[in-house]
Structures are given as C-alpha cells and as structure tokens.
Amino acid sequence: MEWTVEEQEDKSRVDRFLADATEEFSREYLAGLIGEGRVTVNGETVKKNHRLQPGDQVVLEVPAPQPVQIRPQPMDLSILYEDEDLVVVDKQKGLVVHPAPGNLEGTLVNGLLAHCRDLSGINGVLRPGIVHRIDKDTSGLLVVAKNDRAHSELARQFKEHTIERVYLALVHGQIQEAAGEVEAPIGRDPRDRKRMAVNGQHGKDALTRYRVLERFPGYSLVELRLETGRTHQIRVHMKLLDHPLVGDEKYTNRKNPFGVSGQMLHAGALGFEHPRTGQIMRFQSPLPAYFQDVLDTLEPGRGSADRTQERSPK
C-alpha cells in the first residue's frame, strides 16, 4: 500500500498517518509493522514517531494473515444472516467483541469460531473477521467477515462511509429540537488516553445526525445516524450537546437510576453492499428487553414526540 504525503499532512507522525489512512488496521498493529521494518518513507525504514514532509512516499507492506490461535467457545449467539462471506450478529449487551491481551476468552470472536471456524485473518490473531466494533455495553448489529476478500471490501465501504449505521440511545435531558446534527472532530483526550474527546488539533472529522423519537421527564429517546465511524463517536457527540448517554460511566457522572450498567445504546440498523454480489443488505434489531424495560418505567413528558410511532430505527 502506497501514499504520497499532502501539504495538510505535513509533520504528522508516520504511525498516526497510517492509522488515518488505513482504518481497517489498529494503530497498535501498525506500530508493530513499523517495528518489523515493513514501513518505508522514501525507501528507508523509519521509527513510528518519524515526522513526515509533503511529497514523502510512504509504503506499507502488509504481511500474510496469521493463523487464528483463539480457542473456539460454543455460546448462544443471535445470528440474523450468514453465507460463505459474512455473518451478521445481533450482539447482546455485556459481550466483548474480540480478545485482547489478558482477556482471551468469552468474547464474540470465541463464539463465532465455535460456530463457523472460518473468519478473515486480516486483523491478526486476536481480531479475526472483525471489520468494525461496538462497545461491550452497546447491544445490536455487527457484520463479521469470513474471508479476506469480504473483509477488504467491507473495510473499503466503512472507510468511504457508505455503510448505514443507525443507533437508538436514551440520553439525559429533554432535547428541544426535533432533529439536528453534530459535526466535531474526535481524537484521543489529551488528559486521559483511554477516553475520546472533541479534538480540533488532532481529531478526525466526525458527523452524527440525530432525531428525537420520544421525550420523558429528564430524558430523551434518540435515533442517531453515523455519517462517520469514530471511536465512541455517539457518546462524545451527545456529551458535547450536554445530553450524555444514560449509564455512560466514561463520559458522564450523572446519576443512573435504572440499575442498568453501561451506556444505554443499541445498534438497531445496519446496511451495506454485499462484498461478493453487490446486493444491498439491510438488517434491523428491535430494542432488547433491558432497554425496553427502562423505557416502560418512564412516563412521557409534555411536548413528547408522537408516542404511537415504533421505537425502532427507520
């Protein structure tokens, strides 16, 4: 994979440059490739903190996929669709998507390997098949690649932002506008590297569109559409609006009276072009019981949106 550095990318670190250019690879994975000498700038190997200049030629050599070495673990998975190229899963709240150092078992990947045993190896031994992720405490839809061809094509669609992703969230406060959007760049929080934040200097462009489905005293049920796919994008953007997600322990200290751990966020719709056939695929997931139970405890407030509409993404 080759790139020419543009003026606006002047003095960017090579590891950050590659992370921006190749969203299908994690920054940690790319740092490992740099350390192995698989990245060159103008024909010379570099360190990960090497600063780029306009006109530099950057070349990345991606090694052949490594064999998967994760233990398959049978588990009860909600699989909405499967063929020779991909699997669409409706993930339950509390399930980690892929193994990580120190947490190698009990993840969605472990369960998928027990189910189908053939997953793409592009993302290495710990994240086979994983084209995109949702957080542990976010429920809902994921597409997983079963071979490298499908993985590469789906990754292209994510990179070009042609994937449809619609979420439902319960947020603090009554949002007065019927609909709106948040456009603010997201990057690492300079004060806490485990959090993301609106970051105008080092963040990536991020756009979230929202629509209020229902209002309750002190809360709103919101439909959110991701036009980009940054880490924690919805959680950061709703915090920026001063309407953080209920239960979000990372981005708000507001009280959560509902006894549900983790953010109230559900990936309710997912649409993409099939990587082999080109057919448009679209899947929906109804609100899970934990989410519906919380809504059932709330009474609609004055000015509520039409309560007769379905609580599902459109």
Residues 288 and 197 in one domain: yes
Phi-psi region of 303 (alpha: psi -120 to 50; beta: other; left: phi over 0): left
Look up the CATH number of the domain holding residue 46.
3.10.290.10
Per-residue pLDDT tens for 122-173?
777 777 889 999 999 999 999 999 999 999 999 999 999 999 999 999 999 9
Residues with Cβ within 8 Å of residue 33, at least 6 apart in sequence: 39, 60, 61, 62, 63
Q: Is residue 69 part of a domain?
A: no
What is the spatial distance between Cα 157 and Cα 159, in angstroms, rounded to a whole number? 5
Residues 38 and 125 in one domain: no
What is the spatial distance between Cα 23 and Cα 21, in angstroms, rounded to a whole number? 6
Residues 138 and 169 in one domain: no
Dihedral pair phi/psi, residue 120, rounded to 5°: -55, 145
CA dist 72 → 56, 103, 108, 112, 132 (Å): 44, 14, 10, 7, 20
Look up the CATH number of the domain holding residue 279.
3.30.2350.10
Amino acid at 219: Y
Q: Is residue 47 part of a domain?
A: yes
Write down the catalytic residue from 85, 135, 137, 248: 135
Q: Which residue has the higher pLDDT, 188 or 216?
A: 216
Q: Is residue 122 part of a domain?
A: yes
Give the count of domains, the chain: 3
Per-residue pLDDT tens for 243-281?
999 999 999 999 999 989 999 999 999 999 999 999 999
Percent of the chain with pLDDT over 70: 91
275: containing domain: 164-296
118 given a catalytic annotation = no
Of 5-19, 30-44, 181-195, 199-213, the least confident: 5-19
Q: Is residue 178 part of a domain?
A: yes
Per-residue pLDDT tens for 76-134?
999 999 999 999 999 999 999 988 766 788 999 999 999 987 888 877 777 788 999 99
Task: Quote the pTM value.
Answer: 0.77
Q: Is residue 305 part of a domain?
A: no
Q: Is residue 65 part of a domain?
A: no
Q: What is the pLDDT of residue 99?
A: 85
Q: Is residue 71 part of a domain?
A: no
What is the spatial distance between Cα 28 and Cα 208, in angstroms, rounded to a whole number? 27
Q: Is residue 13 part of a domain?
A: yes
Amino acid at 66: Q
Residues 184 and 268 in one domain: yes
Residues 257 and 216 in one domain: yes
Q: What is the pLDDT of residue 67?
A: 58
* Both structure tokens of 254: 């507001």
Residues 101 and 135 in one domain: yes
